[in-house]
Structure 1
Amino acid sequence: MARSRSLPPRLLGAGFRGFSLLPLAISFVVLVCLSLLAIQFWMTLRAREVQLSEAARESANLAQSVAQHAYDTIKEADTVLVGLVERVETDGVSDSELARVHKLLVARVAELRQLHGIFIYARDGSWLVNSQKTLLSNLNNSDRDYFNYHRTHEDRGPYVGPPVRSKSTGQWIVTVSRRINMPDGSFGGVALATIDMNYFRLFYERFSIGEKGAIFIANGKGILLLRRPFDESLLGRDISQFPVFHDYLPKSPVGTAVIKSGVDGVTRINSYRRVEEYPLVVSAALSQDEVLASWRLDTILQNAVGGVLVLLIAFIGYRVVRQIDLRVKSEAGLLEARNELELINETLARLANQDGLTGLANRRHFDQSLLAEFSRAQREDGSLALVLIDVDFFKQYNDIYGHVAGDECLRKIGKVVGYSMRRPGDLAARYGGEEMVFLLPGTDLPGALAVAEGVRQAAQSLGVEHRGNPLGVVTVSVGVAAFMPTHLENQAVELVELADTALYKAKASGRNQVCYASPCEPAEQDATAFAFR
């Protein structure tokens, strides 16, 4: 049965009248809590960025201070060497000249506290003169790195060598040297200034860099001259493959980066700088963990306060949402009960109008629809058609196959009849027993005959076995009636009587026929004249 239906009440509950504040309240509470957490998270990240940024500026300033100190220290020593080289190359190395130079060197070392000593070596590495009050002449420094460098390089600039132990005092020293040339430009010796390592250590220890902070100074080749924290085993170590030298200095002579130390594995905020004029590189680094220690403590406190606030808001929101939920559930329960009642009533109404076996409309529904459509056709001067269907030899079918098979046969025929409805206004019903009926509003006789023939053919094409039918399968006979009822002249029962008469004609004509009847036909007319094949 196909007919238009209105939306059930439960669907209407999904509209504006069924709108609930519960999802909105839950969303609001969740949004507030998430917003607070997001703001807290953003503030935490922002504070971390600020802390790291300040630490980067601090390490950069520290590196600048260390670089300036190294530059000034080397510059003072190198200035002495420049004058000393010029004097030796000009005045020579006679005994009287060396005696004058000795007094000068002793005075210079006394004036510059960072200097450990000043030395002049001959071209073979022997000691010519130095700043020691008692001159030593039985030592030779031809094996030193700086001596070999100047002997093999004609460069007249300063050379900062790796840290070594002084042969005269045994202390760790940093060497700054320059080449001395003979009048013909050949190698004539080396002028050397040594800087006490403790001078740098004492200066670096003045800085507050935490327990895991680090400061180092290295020459241009990446040889470590000094590092805080001090470790004698690291002096002279080649760090040219460490990130500062390998990855960052080739890109920029000055910079700051977060680097994991290759010495002790500590991650530090490292500011590095190449010293201008002298082949030196300095670095000042602060431990990232120590820099962020105060930030972590503040984060814990802020998150604790923020967490308590969020929990408080969540608890209050939960109470409010729970009250709303209880109210919504109460209203929903009442609405559901109403909807269920309406659905039950609708189901009962539908069942009251439906045939239980075939699923088509029942006789009661058909009678009501017939009167309504007949009245409408009278008002609108429209045509009304009726198709009456009867299963051929159905009593024999029940006798042969049983009533259960008979019911199944009627269900199959009912499906054929139901599928044959073409318009929403058409009605297919079980009229009684093995009879079924079509009510076709607004349909004339040719249209009704076409529908009837379609049902007849579809029923036969089912191929339901029927040994009691000469054709061997179940067939139907169909009677059709159609006319335009006139007000006060025709009654609905006339349409049924005409269709029943046409059905009788179809039965009398040999069954499996479609016949029609109209009000103008004489009652004694031969039935075979009405056969439609």
Structure 2
Amino acid sequence: MGISTSNMTRAIAQHADDTIKAADTTLVGLVERVQTDGTGPEALRRMHELLVRRVIELPQLQGLFVYDEKGNWLVNALPAMPSNVNNSDRDYFIYHSTHVDPEPYIGLPIRSRSTGAWIITVSRRIEHADGSFAGVALATINMDYFNKFYKNFDIGQHGVIVLGLNNGIMLTRRPLLADTNGKNIANIPLFRDNVAKKASGTIVIVSALDSVRRLNSFRHLEHYPLFVATALSEDEILADWLTDTYLHSTGVGILLIVLSMLGFHLVGQIKQRLNAEAELVRARDALETLNQTLERLALQDGLTGLANRRHFDLALDKEFSRAVREASSLALIMIDVDCFKQYNDIYGHAAGDECLRKISQVIKTNQNRPGDVAARYGGEELGVLLPGTDVRGAMTIAEKIRLEIHNLGIEHTGNSAGVVTVSAGVDAFIPIQNLDNPLELVLAADKALYAAKSSGRDRVCENQSATGPHRSAPEQEPSTIL
């Protein structure tokens, strides 16, 4: 039965982890949208539509909310915005306003001001561009969502399931007691001597709440500061065996018959229960593996390990918007492997793939800042996005990449240099709202790349055709670096 309670605890912990992760993932996107698009009327209208859809899609969500730095409601998933409502007194709001913490905050259980139901709060801090506090994004999870899930488990008349915070605050319990939500159990032996000191475990202990002796299993969540504990009454676990002992007085023959029947039934129930729990764990593991694979494939090029085209396009749009807001320079280097088709024809596609991996590794080592994005743009064409960089800086980085790739000395008899080389095109500008767009930067860098190819390859050229005060090219700089 220790295995049974342990597996049940593992399944319940995974359910809680997945439930909160879905809400937290929504908050990550919501915070990024607020910090990128702002809180103008049109942005809030679109955000409201998104929140309504998300609450419909995720049954665990009671609501989604965004508050400004004073605690006023900006937008939510409700049909209408309540008037004169302020949440600056809430635990989660006070925490984020006083802590510069990028991680999610799981708050104390509270009653919702919009529905009156008990909820669990998951929140993230919103910041202004300078890092100062700008508000809070909040997801509320119905406590009843967990309670309904816990009813699926057979825990007997005296069994218990507990979901709580790592500081000893109980969020919910099956069966529910009058003071369950928010009760501090930090000083009871199960928490003080076991949960607070170990990642997981199983122990027999007498409950401090109802004096029932139980077999307890506990486990901390993998990604969030919560724990789950399940307990089965020792008397209920042994009930069938106590009945058999009592019946022994009626005769050995009756005992053997009854024991065989009960034993067969008990074994069948245990097998069925273990099989169901094992299947749940296998399904969870398969889903987790699939999700990790999809996330990796969605943003990374499988051959080079660089960002893929989708990731590049998202980063370009984001950094372009940032450059417009901050009036800062945005640079792009477009890189193409010289005579790469001939390389594949001479050395084979496997060697061509290995060549691209080595080139990509050089580019990675020159990706010096967190905001820089190196991506495989397509085929043998690569791109390096450099926020806050002018043409001079981008040309320096591009030339460093070109020279390091040349110095790799990868043999290429189909190239006039005798080794694998690259050509690069560079452009940078300070974009102006409604005048420039991200595609212009790509086209300009690509045009410079074409110029590098046309003028002999194995060189770096900057775009010379674009003019205007918002272009960030320095004066009296050479247009080509050999």
Partner of 2:152: 206
Whole-angstrom distance in 2 between the partners of 1:302 and 1:82: 63
Q: CA deviation at 1:249?
A: 2.6
Quick check: 2:5–2:217 contact (8 Å CA) kept in 1? yes
Quick check: 1:215–1:228 contact (8 Å CA) kept in 2? yes
Distance of aligned partners of 1:224 and 1:152 in 2 relative to their CA distance in 1, 3 Å threshold:
same
Quick check: 2:166–2:196 contact (8 Å CA) kept in 1? no
Quick check: 1:142–1:148 contact (8 Å CA) kept in 2? yes
Higher Rg of the two aligned structures: 1
Q: 2:164 aligns with which of 190, 212, 218?
A: 218
Whole-angstrom distance in 1 between the partners of 2:178 and 2:117: 11
1:127 corresponds to which letter in structure 2?
W
Partner of 1:181: 127
Q: CA deviation at 1:300?
A: 2.6
1:253 corresponds to which letter in structure 2?
A
TM-score of the pair, normalised by structure 1: 0.46
Whole-angstrom distance in 2 between the partners of 1:251 and 1:166: 33
Whole-angstrom distance in 1 between the partners of 2:178 and 2:140: 18
Whole-angstrom distance in 2 between the partners of 1:258 and 1:175: 32
**RMSD, aligned CA:** 1.8
Partner of 1:125: 71
- The yes-or-no answer on 1:135 pairing with 2:94 is no
Q: 1:294 aligns with which of 234, 240, 259?
A: 240
> SS of the counterpart of 1:125?
coil
Whole-angstrom distance in 2 between the partners of 1:123 and 1:232: 35
Distance of aligned partners of 1:303 and 1:180 in 2 relative to their CA distance in 1, 3 Å threshold:
farther
The 5-angstrom pairing of residues 292-441 of structure 1 reads 292-302=238-248, 305=251
Partner of 1:240: 186
**Deviation digits for residues 51-72 of structure 1, max 9, x if unmatched?**
xxxx211111111111011011
Whole-angstrom distance in 1 between the partners of 2:221 and 2:37: 33
Q: 1:195 aligns with which of 116, 141, 145?
A: 141
Quick check: 1:106–1:131 contact (8 Å CA) kept in 2? yes
Partner of 2:230: 284
Distance of aligned partners of 1:219 and 1:308 in 2 relative to their CA distance in 1, 3 Å threshold:
closer
Q: CA deviation at 1:259?
A: 1.6
Whole-angstrom distance in 2 between the partners of 1:240 and 1:91: 43
Whole-angstrom distance in 2 between the partners of 1:308 and 1:256: 36
The 5-angstrom pairing of residues 262-281 of structure 1 reads 262-281=208-227
Q: CA deviation at 1:91?
A: 1.5
1:57 corresponds to which letter in structure 2?
I
> SS of the counterpart of 1:96?
helix
Q: How many residues align?
A: 255
Distance of aligned partners of 1:220 and 1:137 in 2 relative to their CA distance in 1, 3 Å threshold:
farther
Partner of 1:98: 44
2:201 corresponds to which letter in structure 1?
G
Gap runs ≥5 in structure 1 = 1-54, 310-533
Whole-angstrom distance in 1 between the partners of 2:178 and 2:90: 19
Distance of aligned partners of 1:140 and 1:210 in 2 relative to their CA distance in 1, 3 Å threshold:
same
Partner of 1:8: none
Partner of 1:261: 207
Distance of aligned partners of 1:145 and 1:221 in 2 relative to their CA distance in 1, 3 Å threshold:
same
Whole-angstrom distance in 2 between the partners of 1:308 and 1:268: 31
2:205 corresponds to which letter in structure 1?
I
Whole-angstrom distance in 2 between the partners of 1:273 and 1:244: 12
Distance of aligned partners of 1:80 and 1:308 in 2 relative to their CA distance in 1, 3 Å threshold:
closer
Q: 1:169 aligns with which of 102, 112, 115?
A: 115
**Deviation digits for residues 399-429 of structure 1, max 9, x if unmatched?**
xxxxxxxxxxxxxxxxxxxxxxxxxxxxxxx
The 5-angstrom pairing of residues 456-467 of structure 1 reads none
Whole-angstrom distance in 2 between the partners of 1:167 and 1:243: 35
**Deviation digits for residues 337-371 of structure 1, max 9, x if unmatched?**
xxxxxxxxxxxxxxxxxxxxxxxxxxxxxxxxxxx
**Deviation digits for residues 246-290 of structure 1, max 9, x if unmatched?**
111344211000121122221111100000110110011101111
2:71 corresponds to which letter in structure 1?
G
Whole-angstrom distance in 1 between the partners of 2:88 and 2:82: 15
Quick check: 1:128–1:137 contact (8 Å CA) kept in 2? no
Q: CA deviation at 1:308?
A: 12
TM-score of the pair, normalised by structure 2: 0.51
Whole-angstrom distance in 1 between the partners of 2:64 and 2:81: 12
Kindly indicate whether structure 1 or structure 2 has the higher relative contact order, using CA contacts under 8 Å at least 6 residues apart. 1
Quick check: 2:35–2:126 contact (8 Å CA) kept in 1? yes
**Deviation digits for residues 220-258 of structure 1, max 9, x if unmatched?**
211111000012422101111122321113442110001
> SS of the counterpart of 2:134?
strand
Determine which structure has the larger helix proportion and give its number: 1
Partner of 1:148: 94
Whole-angstrom distance in 2 between the partners of 1:120 and 1:308: 68
Quick check: 1:67–1:275 contact (8 Å CA) kept in 2? yes
Quick check: 2:125–2:133 contact (8 Å CA) kept in 1? yes
1:225 corresponds to which letter in structure 2?
L
Q: CA deviation at 1:301?
A: 3.0
Whole-angstrom distance in 2 between the partners of 1:268 and 1:187: 47
1:236 corresponds to which letter in structure 2?
G
Whole-angstrom distance in 2 between the partners of 1:81 and 1:98: 15
2:87 corresponds to which letter in structure 1?
N
Whole-angstrom distance in 2 between the partners of 1:107 and 1:148: 28
1:162 corresponds to which letter in structure 2?
L
> Bigger CA drift: 299-308 or 243-252?
299-308
Whole-angstrom distance in 1 between the partners of 2:86 and 2:233: 44
1:140 corresponds to which letter in structure 2?
N
> SS of the counterpart of 1:296?
helix
Q: 1:63 aligns with which of 1, 9, 19?
A: 9
